[in-house]
Structure 1
Amino acid sequence: MVDAVVFDLDGVLIDSEPVWEQVRRAYVAEAGGRWLPDSQRRLMGMSTSEWARYLSRELGVGRPPEVVAAEVIDRMAARYAEELPLLPGAVEAVRRTAGQWPLGLASSSPPRLIRTVLETTGLAPRFAVTMSTEEVSCGKPAPDVYLAVAGKLGVAPGTCVAIEDSSNGLRAAHTAGMRVVAVPQHAYPPEPDALALADQVLAGLDELTVEVLRGGPVLR
């Protein structure tokens, strides 16, 4: 039984991971820090406070985390104002899903950027609950944000389907007890052990049909 569907945002509805990487990588370089080979993988799923501390302390930015967060988010907002990197089929997938179940959004993006995306796309009314990992104790791969969204929706986590793409997101949704549908991005593929946690793996959002969300097969 499915009582609700919970979407991730970055990498699921918008192709924002390349933008986040470009913005944060440039920010670190300008501050005299050093970007590490595994930095992007580690950052995916972190809450704002977590990645701001990571840039400040681990990557050598040397500015207070709250300053790092504000400056990076400003740059991201400016990039979104230039062009919102919507993924193919995102708006349609949300609309057809919202016609069947209440929707939640469990995102690692800050609330400011979540609002920007949902208002720009006109999708804000489709979501009954939206939450950022800023609003819970720990970011992904901890299950906190998924559990909080299910609680606000008034449903058991085990009756929710989560739509995810990243390793940390897949782990978070699985640990929360949700059925997990993975829509991996080729540029930032999840680790094999994380992908193995998904109940279904789709090639794109066009395959995210009502039948698939109910547990049916993917028709290709």
Structure 2
Amino acid sequence: MERFKAVVFDMDGLMIDTERLYFEVERVIARDFGKEVKDETLWKMMGRKPIEAITVFAEDLGLDISPEELLGIRDNLFVKKLVNEVEAMPGLSDILNSLKGKLKMGIATGSPSKFLKIVLDKLNIGGYFDIFVTSDEVQKGKPDPEVYNIAAMRLQVLPSECIVLEDSSNGALAAVKAGCYTIAVPSVYTDKQDFSFVNYIARDLRDAAQKIGELINRE
């Protein structure tokens, strides 16, 4: 068994409670166009590059507006919510402190760097991480493995030496395709998604921290 050398965190819905903010914004936008958006559409959008996600939204709702224009509307609404309402998920500080100095750490997010910066500044957690990969830097969003391959390369480890934490099926699939040991931490927004292919399903971040402790102590 290869020794684990790094842990890579997804951001939205895993480290911070942004899925609620995204869902609220996207439901508002749908209503503004006289539509209702189904949960299944919102699930399909999760983890993807922003332009890919909003294209799914536009197609599923049959909106006659360019994805670029629609993304601008969503981003303006979302930034206001993010600045005012961003909160860490329960157990985030616990898991960061428990891993600090034991493994290299990174964030691989489907969000753009401007959102990542807001989160790091608001929660004051940037110092825990060695590398960051955002949607601005990838050609293909999750479930494509590109983001995790880049993260492993920047951390100077093999994907098989990485433990990845993800809250969505799309994100978890990206990590598995990259060859990472994948821990799903479903939220109330993703607990009905398929995680049958991951290595471990954690109840929350504290459970995930305990599992990672077992993995690195067993080596």
- Would you say same fold, with TM above 0.5? yes
Contact conserved, 2:41 with 2:57, CA < 8 A, in 1?
Answer: no
1:212 and 1:61, CA in 2 relative to 1: closer, same or farther beyond 3 A?
A: farther
- For 1:100, what is the secondary structure of its paired residue? coil
Contact conserved, 1:45 with 1:169, CA < 8 A, in 2?
Answer: yes
Give the one of 124, 132, 135 matched to 1:133: 135
The residue aligned with 1:201 is 201
**Alpha-carbon offset, residue 37 of structure 1:** 4.7
The answer to which of 88-97 and 17-26 deviates more is 88-97
Partner amino acid for 2:158? A
Partner amino acid for 1:200? Y
Alignment pair present for 1:163 and 2:179: no
Contact conserved, 1:91 with 1:121, CA < 8 A, in 2?
Answer: no
Per-residue Cα deviation, 1:12-45 (whole angstroms, up to 9, x for no partner): 1112112111101211221344523521111112
Question: Hey, what's the Cα distance between the residues in 2 that align with 1:157 and 1:69?
Answer: 32
Partner amino acid for 1:202? A
- For 2:16, what is the secondary structure of its paired residue? coil
1:185 and 1:151, CA in 2 relative to 1: closer, same or farther beyond 3 A?
A: same
Per-residue Cα deviation, 1:75-103 (whole angstroms, up to 9, x for no partner): 11111222213211112212322321111
The residue aligned with 2:180 is 178
Give the one of 153, 161, 165 matched to 2:155: 153
TM-score (norm 1): 0.89
Task: Count matched residues.
Answer: 214
- For 2:8, what is the secondary structure of its paired residue? strand
The residue aligned with 2:119 is 117
- For 1:214, what is the secondary structure of its paired residue? helix
Contact conserved, 1:167 with 1:190, CA < 8 A, in 2?
Answer: no
1:150 and 1:70, CA in 2 relative to 1: closer, same or farther beyond 3 A?
A: same
- For 2:83, what is the secondary structure of its paired residue? helix
Contact conserved, 2:41 with 2:60, CA < 8 A, in 1?
Answer: no
Question: Hey, what's the Cα distance between the residues in 2 that align with 1:97 and 1:164?
Answer: 16
Alignment pair present for 1:42 and 2:44: yes
**Alpha-carbon offset, residue 10 of structure 1:** 1.2
1:151 and 1:200, CA in 2 relative to 1: closer, same or farther beyond 3 A?
A: same
| Misfit runs of 4+, over 6 Å | none
Partner amino acid for 2:145? P
**Alpha-carbon offset, residue 188 of structure 1:** 2.0
Q: Which aligned pairs between 1:80-95 and structure 2 lie closer than 5 A?
A: 80-95=82-97
Question: Hey, what's the Cα distance between the residues in 1 that align with 2:95 and 2:150?
Answer: 23
Question: Hey, what's the Cα distance between the residues in 2 that align with 1:73 and 1:138?
Answer: 20
Per-residue Cα deviation, 1:138-174 (whole angstroms, up to 9, x for no partner): 1111111111111111111010000111111111101
Question: Hey, what's the Cα distance between the residues in 2 that align with 1:206 and 1:172?
Answer: 23
Q: Percent identity?
A: 28
- For 2:38, what is the secondary structure of its paired residue? coil
